[in-house]
Amino acid sequence: MSSYMWPPSIESGKSLLYAADSAARVALEPYVRDGDTVVELDTHTMYMWNSISSTWSIINSSTVTVGDLTTTSPLHETGGFEAVLGTGVNITVDDASTSQKGVVELSNSYIGTSQVLATTEKALSDGLATKQATGNYITALTSDISASGPGSSAATIQPNVVGNSKLAQAPANTLKGNNTGSTANESDLTVSQVQTMLSIPATPVSISNGGTGQTTQAAAITALTGSQTPGYVLRSDGVNSYLAAIQATDVPILNQNTTGTASNITATSNSTLTTLSSLSLPGSQVSGNISGNSANVTGTVAIANGGTGQTTQQLALDALAGSVTSAQYLRGTGTHVQMSSIQASDVPILNQSTTGTASNVTGIVAIVNGGTGQTTASAAFNALSPNSTKGDITVYDTTTNSRLAVGSNGQVLKSDSTQTLGVKWDNITTTRSQSFLTSGTTYTTPSNITTATYFKFTLIGGGGGGGGSSSTTCSAGGGGGGGLILWTTGLSPSTGYTIAIGSGGTAGAATPTAGGNGGDTTLTISATTYTASGGVGGPTSSVAGGAGGAATNGTINISGRNGGGGSGAATSPGGMGGDSPWGWGHGGANNIGNAVGLAGSGYGAGGGGGRNAAGAAGTSGCILVEWVN
């Protein structure tokens, strides 16, 4: 629904005028009357004239709209005209309903209950498309449930077709039934409801009703057997069963294996027993062999009956040994064992190893008797040692400890599996070599080294170039390259390691320019990089010379010397190049005329500064590799 209000609220008899802008509105003042309204089209503001005060007052400034009047569906207009619209404009079109005309919304749905939406041809077509063709819809039900069409029809469940699986599941321990006393639907009945319905008592069934009158097995047996007497058993007299004592005639003759106890069995002519786990009999009544364990044997079995006649271990030994005499031993005679003194022939010659303590040994035991023949540890060791000469050592071969004679002066002990003792004295032999590197990116180790080979690397960085000069003042010299020494092992044979040789810094031009920095010389082993940094190039002014290069990660790190500073004096020479561990910077340009800086010598030397001329280039770095096996 859309709303408009027209015309604006204007007092009766007053005029509504339009002005293009404020100037046009002011031009109307001689012609307007008190209460007349003017709309400025450029600002869309409405003014009312007050003739008493000769002033304009703004009305409805926030709600006035000036423009072409247009409409939206379901309204339409064809001419279009300019209008002033404000809060007073209100054009309304109501929605359609079943009781009035109005705006209707179309819908493509053919399913629903709305009374304000209108169905389109598409919705009608879609709905008709879902209708089953003739012959494709159900006209009758068969099998367990039957019905016939067309139209509404009552469905009938056929007799004897509803199985247990089609019934509603019942709660645990319930029965389907009707306990209401009249016709009703079935329900799930509990045990107590079923007992009540069938008049089954909730208490135990008495003996007179065919039960036991009890709720436990033990109580039921007790109730059925009557009066209880200790030792009685349930016995039949041929007519009834009741509790009674066992009769002698009830027990058969025991001529087979039995189990259990037999504490009341007495000896008779039929007392041959083979398996009784807890038999208790007087010893006088036992004859023949007894098998099994004797845990239940009571009393003391005499020696004559195969025992000892005693109750302790010591007394049993004494009883079996007979007469006991001090210092005698239990000794076999070839027929019997009896107490007797040790005979000389019983003791063998001690020509074998013995064990135990020797607290009673007196005298000195010779080596041939298993001793050392000495009385002190030092003397005993000397007596047993095979060594005989100064410097001899004892070495074990595969069977014994043997003497290895001392070697010659300067020899060392070496392992040698070809020797009888596995070692030998031998002269020291070494293999050594060196490589001097001034270019390249890889150093490859020799093939005849091992991981134990000792390496020494010396790295020198490139020297910085001397600065150039364009006047009679002299520029500074370049710094010397840094250096380091690295001692290491663990390198593999025939293996390449990354290197870089630092180049000398370029000479500064007379334009003037500063000297170039010397390059870094590096070596990388595993994850560690060892660096001898290049010297810094000399500047063009008369300040201090370039800084010497540093070094990192070496066993010994040596910094290069700083380059000499320049001078502003017309008679001063150029700055001297800095020294490196293996290079020497020379003086800069002389103090006469225009002269270039002097180049250094060796490796990593800084170049000298120029005097109204170019400086000298620095010398390049290097790597010296030395190794020994």
* Contact call for residues 471 and 570 (beta carbons, < 8 A): no
pLDDT, residue 89, reads 47
Q: Which two tokens stand for residue 458?
A: 């010396």
Q: What count of other Cβ atoms lies within 10 Å of the Cβ of residue 461? A: 41
Say how many residues make up the chain: 629
> Which residue, chain included where needed, has tokens 């080596």?
367
Cα(191)–Cα(246) distance, rounded to whole angstroms?
A: 45
Amino acid occupying residue 126: D
CA 437 vs CA 465, 480, 621, 623: distances in Å: 22, 19, 9, 5
Task: Give the DSSP H or E segment for 382.
Answer: helix 377-384
* Contact call for residues 234 and 242 (beta carbons, < 8 A): yes
pLDDT, residue 7, reads 44
pLDDT, residue 63, reads 45
Under DSSP, the state recorded for 215 is: S
* Contact call for residues 479 and 504 (beta carbons, < 8 A): no
Start-to-end C-alpha separation, the chain: 105
> Which residue, chain included where needed, has tokens 């409801």?
193
Under DSSP, the state recorded for 123 is: H
- Three-class secondary structure of residue 184 per DSSP: coil
Of 203, 227, 224, 201, which Cα lies nearest the Cα of 212?
Answer: 224
Burial string for 510-522 (b: 16+ CB within 10 Å, else e) reads bebbbbbbbbbbb
Amino acid occupying residue 287: S
Q: How many helices (H) and strands (E) does the chain have?
A: 6, 33
pLDDT, residue 165, reads 78
Q: What count of other Cβ atoms lies within 10 Å of the Cβ of residue 501? A: 22
Of 352, 354, 331, 358, which Cα lies nearest the Cα of 343?
Answer: 331
Cα(207)–Cα(625) distance, rounded to whole angstroms?
A: 116
pLDDT, residue 360, reads 61
CA 210 vs CA 213, 223, 227, 354: distances in Å: 9, 13, 20, 88
Rg (C-alpha) for the chain, rounded Å, is 66
Q: Averaged in consecutive runs of 10 residues, what is the pLDDT profile of the chain (629 residues)?
A: 41 76 89 88 88 86 52 58 48 78 85 85 83 66 72 74 80 89 89 83 79 83 84 80 80 59 52 51 58 64 82 81 78 78 69 60 84 90 89 89 90 88 86 94 95 96 89 75 93 97 93 92 96 92 84 96 77 80 80 76 91 88 95
- CA neighbours closer than 13 Å in the CB half-sphere of residue 59: 23
Cα(241)–Cα(223) distance, rounded to whole angstroms?
A: 13
Domains of the chain by residue range? 16-85, 366-429, 430-629
Q: Which two tokens stand for residue 492?
A: 């593999």
pLDDT, residue 253, reads 63
> Which residue, chain included where needed, has tokens 């022939």?
345
Amino acid occupying residue 576: M
pLDDT, residue 532, reads 97
Q: CB neighbours of 413 closer than 8 A, spacing ≥ 6? A: 393, 407, 423, 424, 425
